[in-house]
């Protein structure tokens, strides 16, 4: 992650150097996915767009933008435009502020009149969201409202129905209610972001009068970072875990020198309290599916001793990999990523020592390692960075730590078997492989966006597109979930194929790396063959589009017995498979239920 | 701060904003002389100059800044 854009950043520096930063980011553009972002603004959004571009690129997304004419957000959203239609956005961002609220309650209005005004104001937004969904079927990001710049009624402005604070708060609550209903609306919480920034500065009217900016020019990077975080989260580009140092990171002091009694954790001192709260925060992260790991320069024994401190909020069981040794931290970091089956850049390095952060980011350039500051600042640094921005929270997210942990146990177990087939049988695997079910659309969409390695076409889908695929008669959809004696892995594989006459063209085939080498791909193929036969398909076509991350599946179709039809200069290969009259099942180790 | 020093600093700020190390400012350099100096970039320039000199311009001052010389004059008055 590029330093200038890593929170805590110098916002003005980003504005001043945006051209140079962009130039630097573009060097890596081949590894980015393209997304079309339409910004429908209630004010001058040009600079929001420019800075958003930087933050999206830093998250591996190369944006193409549509920007509405000045303050034409409502017209564009409700009536569309030829330009916007042909642009076909992947995501729409409605960038408004409280200056776009046309009417506020008058002090003489009664409660009913105010309710009506509230409904009228809200319905303008509802119209926009619904017509965007109808027209473009894509996620919508909507700013809520920041609090007003002044309070006519003073503190009562919050509670009195005539107060603008009250009115905007009620309006925001209506936005949230809609967002909760799962209609693809995501709130960009500028009410929080502006409070965090300082409302007086954020809403400095200078910028409205001079430039028709809805916020302070210097605050734009904070807004842009948040919007980028929502977008990258929707497209599955969140980080997956933390790699944590121990001494002076999870507790104060050095366990090897100070001993278990000597480290700062618990309620005895202000430092100890700060470290305890930090541990609490980390353990909350775990609950939402963030994978926790340790990377520390200590004897293992001492590391465990520290984590077994009676006041420690975290215990050794909370971590998947604990690397505590005297190896260089970049090497440990890489090994942790390998053991989890993840790319190093999907993990965040948390270490108080700038030299260690440097070693890790120098040798593994994609890794984020924020400047942590003093212990009392660290929750803020991690929190504001938005590494794990939540836009959907599936059951699998909540169970993720357990799933990865059992994976590590499985790996150790496999070393005990000399025959791999026997090891697979010993796992007692059971799979359910079925056409897409509505309940799982969000998880399926999430997988299409985050799977990079075992992914033949790296085609990304929104929830809406998954729903359309499931509803289409000419499309075969399959999801696979896998459990074994160590636990439920949840949904781990997705296949989509388009049927045309006697041919089925596989447009998507992916599998989560946590179930590699478990023959799950064979089970999926068997199921695909069954589905194909049912609709009279005789030939299955597969495509492999190489990316910088999916070389592990270059030979996937060959392994399944497909024959190569063509290969172009970019390495894109096309394969075909004629379903034989007597098809013998490839999977012999997984029990298939329905 | 001498006008020369202010000019030096301004020059660096402009080089940063336009990402162009060869940019050389003159007293009478205006938006017409630098292709990318439009009204939107002007806002970035104001932010950049405020950051460099640790000052905040008034609306009147920003409106008055038609060329680099005027910018330097205003800065000199303020620091």
At the second CATH level, the architecture of A3-234 is 3-Layer(aba) Sandwich (3.40)
Q: For chain A, list residues whose CB is within 8 angstroms of any CB belonging to chain B.
A: 12-13, 15-20, 23, 44, 46-47, 206, 209-211, 213, 217-218
Q: What is the mean pLDDT of residues A78-88?
A: 93
Length of chain A: 594
Find the CATH number of the domain harbouring B41.
1.10.1200.10
Q: Which residues, listed in sequence order, are joined to residue A95 by a DSSP beta bridge?
A: A41
Q: Any idea what DSSP says for residue A454?
A: S
Q: In this prediction, what percent of chain A has a pLDDT beyond 90?
A: 83
State how far the Cα of A285 lies from the Cα of A297, in Å rounded to an integer. Answer: 23
> What is the least distance, in Å, from the CA of B19 to any CA of chain A?
6
Closest residue of chain B to A19, computed from CA coordinates: B19
Residue A63 pLDDT? 98
> What is the least distance, in Å, from the CA of B28 to any CA of chain A?
22
Fold of A429-593: Aminopeptidase (3.40.630)
Is-contact A384 A405, C-beta < 8 A?
Answer: no
Dihedral sign for Cα A432, A438, A442, A444, please.
positive
Q: For chain B, list residues whose CB is within 8 angstroms of any CB belonging to chain A.
A: 13, 16-19, 40, 43-44, 46-48, 50-51, 59, 62
Is-contact A319 A273, C-beta < 8 A?
Answer: no
Question: Which of A478, A455, A408, A466 lies closest to A549, judged by CA?
Answer: A455
Cis peptide before A8 (omega within 30 of 0): yes
Least confident of A163-172, A401-410, A456-465: A401-410
Residue A187 pLDDT? 98
Give ∠ CA A258-A262-A267 in degrees, rounded to 5. Answer: 150
State how far the Cα of A1 lies from the Cα of A345, in Å rounded to an integer. Answer: 9
CB A15 to CB B13 under 8 A?
no
Residues of B in contact with A19 (CB under 8 A): 17-19
Contacts of A62 (CB under 8 A, 6+ apart): A29, A32, A33, A34, A35, A56
CB B51 to CB A12 under 8 A?
yes
> Residue A450 — very low, low, confident or very high, per pLDDT cuts 50/70/90?
confident
Asked whether the predicted pLDDT for residue A468 surpasses 70, the reply is yes
- Assess whether the region A3-234 and the region A429-593 belong to the same CATH fold: no
Q: Any idea what DSSP says for residue A253?
A: S
Give ∠ CA A136-A46-A145 in degrees, rounded to 5. Answer: 70
Say which of A13, A17, A211 has its CB closest to residue B43.
A211
Residues of B in contact with A16 (CB under 8 A): 13, 16-17, 44, 47-48, 51
Distances (CA, A) of A435 to A397, A455, B26: 22, 19, 69
Question: Which of A500, A501, A479 lies closest to A490, judged by CA?
Answer: A479
Least confident of A106-115, A302-311, A471-480, B21-30: B21-30
> Residue A90 — very low, low, confident or very high, per pLDDT cuts 50/70/90?
very high
Asked whether the predicted pLDDT for residue A190 surpasses 70, the reply is yes
Asked whether the predicted pLDDT for residue A226 surpasses 70, the reply is yes
Residues of B in contact with A23 (CB under 8 A): 19
Torsion of Cα atoms, A456 then A457 then A462 then A468, to 10°:
-90
Look at the block and give the residue holding tokens 């949230």.
Answer: A176
CB B59 to CB A206 under 8 A?
yes
CB B19 to CB A17 under 8 A?
yes
> Residue A421 — very low, low, confident or very high, per pLDDT cuts 50/70/90?
confident
Residue A151 pLDDT? 97
Look at the block and give the residue holding tokens 């079910």.
Answer: A437
Look at the block and give the residue holding tokens 């009664």.
Answer: A110
- The two three-digit tokens of residue A580, written as one number: 């034989």
Q: Which of B11, B15, B17, B55 to mutate to probe the A interface, most A CBs <10 Å?
A: B17
- The two three-digit tokens of residue A7, written as one number: 């929170």
Say which of B19, B47, B62 has its CB closest to residue A15.
B47
Is-contact A446 A390, C-beta < 8 A?
Answer: no
Residues of A in contact with B50 (CB under 8 A): 12
Say which of A12, A13, A46 has its CB closest to residue B40.
A46
> Residue A163 — very low, low, confident or very high, per pLDDT cuts 50/70/90?
very high
State how far the Cα of A187 lies from the Cα of A120, in Å rounded to an integer. Answer: 20
Helix (H) or strand (E) holding A178: helix A164-180
CB B47 to CB A12 under 8 A?
yes
> Residue A411 — very low, low, confident or very high, per pLDDT cuts 50/70/90?
confident
Domain boundaries defined on chain A: 3-234, 241-385, 429-593
> What is the least distance, in Å, from the CA of B1 to any CA of chain A?
22
Contacts of B63 (CB under 8 A, 6+ apart): none
Length of chain B: 79
> What is the least distance, in Å, from the CA of B59 to any CA of chain A?
7
- The two three-digit tokens of residue A56, written as one number: 């999206």
Closest residue of chain B to A48, computed from CA coordinates: B40
Q: Which of A4, A10, A14, A15 to mutate to probe the B interface, most B CBs <10 Å?
A: A15
CB A23 to CB B19 under 8 A?
yes
State how far the Cα of A152 lies from the Cα of A578, in Å rounded to an integer. Answer: 75
Burial class of residue A307, CB neighbours in 10 A (0-12, 13-18, 19+) = buried
CB B48 to CB A16 under 8 A?
yes
State how far the Cα of A177 lies from the Cα of A158, in Å rounded to an integer. Answer: 20
Q: Which structural domain, as residue segments, surrounds residue B53? A: 3-78
Question: Which of A399, A554, A559, A424 lies closest to A490, judged by CA?
Answer: A399
State how far the Cα of A173 lies from the Cα of A235, in Å rounded to an integer. Answer: 26
Q: What is the mean pLDDT of chain A?
A: 93
Give ∠ CA A71-A77-A82 in degrees, rounded to 5. Answer: 95
> What is the least distance, in Å, from the CA of A12 to any CA of chain B?
7
Relative orientation angle of helices A378-385 and A270-287, to the nearest 10 degrees? 20
Q: What is the pLDDT of residues A248-300, one digit of tens each?
A: 999 999 999 999 999 999 998 999 999 999 999 999 999 999 999 999 999 99
Q: Which stretches does DSSP call E strand in A68-130?
A: 91-95
Phi, psi (rounded to 5 degrees) for A288: -95, 15
CB B44 to CB A16 under 8 A?
yes
Is-contact A194 A188, C-beta < 8 A?
Answer: no
Is-contact B78 B55, C-beta < 8 A?
Answer: yes
Is-contact A241 A247, C-beta < 8 A?
Answer: no
Asked whether the predicted pLDDT for residue A575 surpasses 80, the reply is yes
What residue ranges of chain B have pLDDT lower than 70? none
CB B19 to CB A19 under 8 A?
yes
User: Given 3-state DSSP classes, what are the helix, strand and coil percentages for chain B, each rounded to the nearest 5?
Assistant: 60, 5, 35
Residue B65 pLDDT? 86
Residue A594 pLDDT? 62
Q: In this prediction, what percent of chain A has a pLDDT beyond 70?
A: 100
Asked whether the predicted pLDDT for residue A412 surpasses 80, the reply is no
Using only C-alpha atoms, what is the Rg of chain B? 11
SS3 A421: helix
Is-contact A498 A507, C-beta < 8 A?
Answer: yes
Is-contact B17 B51, C-beta < 8 A?
Answer: no
Say which of B13, B16, B47 has its CB closest to residue A218.
B47
Residues of A in contact with B35 (CB under 8 A): none
Residues of B in contact with A210 (CB under 8 A): 43, 59, 62
Q: Is A241-385 CATH 3.90.1140.10?
A: no
Question: Which of A321, A314, A284, A280 lies closest to A300, judged by CA?
Answer: A321
| Residue A158 Rama label (left phi>0; alpha psi -120 to 50; beta) | alpha
Q: What is the mean pLDDT of residues A508-533?
A: 92
Look at the block and give the residue holding tokens 């936005």.
Answer: A175
Dihedral sign for Cα A69, A72, A76, A82, please.
negative
CA A153 and chain centroid, separation = 41
CA atoms within 13 A on the CB side of A434: 13
Closest residue of chain A to B36, computed from CA coordinates: A19
Domain count, chain B: 1
Q: What is the pLDDT of residues A116-157, one digit of tens each?
A: 999 999 999 999 999 999 999 899 999 999 999 999 999 999
Listing DSSP states for A552-577 in one string gives GGTTHHHHTT-EEEEE-TT--EEEEE
A-B CB pairs within 8 A amount to 42
CB B16 to CB A20 under 8 A?
yes
- pTM for this entry: 0.79
State how far the Cα of A1 lies from the Cα of A136, in Å rounded to an integer. Answer: 32
CB A19 to CB B17 under 8 A?
yes
State how far the Cα of A391 lies from the Cα of A184, in Å rounded to an integer. Answer: 10
CB B43 to CB A47 under 8 A?
yes
């Amino acid at each position: 992650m590029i330093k200038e854009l890593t929170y805590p950043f110098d916002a003005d520096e980003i504005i001043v150097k945006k051209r140079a930063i962009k130039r630097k980011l573009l060097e890596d553009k081949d590894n980015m996915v393209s997304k079309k972002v339409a910004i429908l603004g209630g004010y001058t959004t040009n600079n929001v767009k420019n800075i958003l571009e930087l933050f999206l690129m830093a998250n591996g997304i190369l944006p193409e933008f549509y920007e509405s004419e000045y303050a034409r957000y409502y017209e564009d959203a409700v009536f569309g435009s030829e330009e916007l239609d042909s642009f076909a956005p992947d995501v729409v961002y409605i960038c408004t502020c409280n200056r776009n609220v046309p009417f506020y309650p008058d002090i003489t209005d009664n409660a009913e009149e105010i309710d009506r005004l509230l409904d009228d104001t809200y319905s303008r937004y509802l119209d926009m969201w619904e017509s965007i969904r109808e027209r473009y079927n894509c996620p919508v990001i909507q700013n809520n409202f920041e609090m007003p710049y002044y309070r006519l009624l003073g503190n009562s402005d919050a509670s009195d129905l005539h107060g603008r604070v009250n009115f905007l708060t009620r309006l925001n609550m209506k936005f949230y209610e809609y967002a909760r209903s799962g209609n693809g609306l995501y709130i960009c919480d500028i009410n929080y972001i502006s409070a965090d920034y300082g409302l007086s500065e954020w809403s400095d009217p200078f910028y409205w009068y001079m430039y028709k900016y809805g916020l302070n020019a210097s605050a734009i990077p904070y807004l842009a970072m948040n919007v980028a975080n929502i977008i990258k989260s929707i497209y599955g580009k969140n980080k997956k875990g933390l790699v944590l140092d121990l001494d002076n990171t999870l507790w104060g002091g050095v366990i090897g020198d100070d001993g278990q009694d000597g480290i700062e954790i618990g309620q005895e001192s202000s430092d100890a309290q700060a470290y305890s709260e930090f541990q609490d925060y980390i353990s909350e992260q775990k609950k939402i599916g963030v994978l926790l790991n340790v990377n520390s320069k200590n004897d293992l024994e001492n590391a465990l001793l520290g984590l077994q401190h009676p006041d420690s909020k975290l215990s050794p069981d909370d971590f998947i990999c604990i690397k505590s040794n005297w190896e260089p931290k970049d090497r440990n970091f890489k090994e942790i990523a390998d053991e989890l089956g993840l790319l190093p850049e999907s993990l965040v390095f948390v270490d108080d020592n700038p030299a260690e952060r440097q070693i890790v980011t120098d040798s593994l350039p994609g890794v984020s390692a924020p400047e942590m500051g003093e212990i009392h600042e660290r929750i803020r640094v991690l929190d504001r960075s938005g590494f794990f921005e939540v836009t959907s929270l599936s059951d699998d997210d909540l169970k993720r730590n357990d799933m990865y942990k059992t994976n590590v146990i499985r790996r150790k177990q496999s070393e005990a078997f000399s025959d791999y087939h026997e090891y697979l049988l010993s796992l007692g695997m059971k799979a359910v492989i079925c056409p897409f079910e509505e309940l799982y659309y969000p998880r399926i969409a999430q997988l299409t966006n985050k799977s990079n390695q075992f992914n033949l076409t790296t085609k990304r889908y929104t929830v809406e597109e998954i729903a359309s695929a499931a509803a289409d008669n000419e499309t075969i959809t399959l999801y696979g979930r896998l459990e074994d004696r160590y636990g439920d892995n949840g949904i781990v594989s997705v296949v989509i194929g388009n049927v045309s006459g006697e041919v089925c063209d596989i447009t998507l085939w992916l599998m989560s790396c946590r179930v590699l080498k478990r023959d799950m791909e064979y089970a999926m193929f068997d199921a695909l063959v069954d589905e194909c036969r049912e609709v009279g398909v005789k030939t299955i076509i597969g495509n492999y589009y190489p990316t910088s991350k999916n070389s592990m599946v270059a030979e996937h179709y060959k392994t399944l017995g497909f024959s190569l039809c063509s290969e172009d200069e970019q390495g894109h290969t096309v394969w075909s498979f004629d379903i034989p009259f007597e098809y013998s099942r490839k999977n012999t180790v997984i029990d298939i239920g329905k | 701060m001498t006008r020369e020093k202010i000019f030096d600093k301004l020059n660096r700020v402009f080089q940063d904003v336009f990402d162009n190390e060869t940019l050389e400012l003159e007293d009478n350099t205006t938006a017409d002389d630098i292709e990318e100096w439009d009204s939107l970039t002007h806002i970035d320039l104001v932010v950049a100059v405020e950051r460099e000199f640790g000052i905040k311009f008034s609306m009147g001052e920003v409106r008055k800044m038609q060329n680099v010389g005027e910018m330097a004059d205003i800065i000199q008055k303020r620091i």
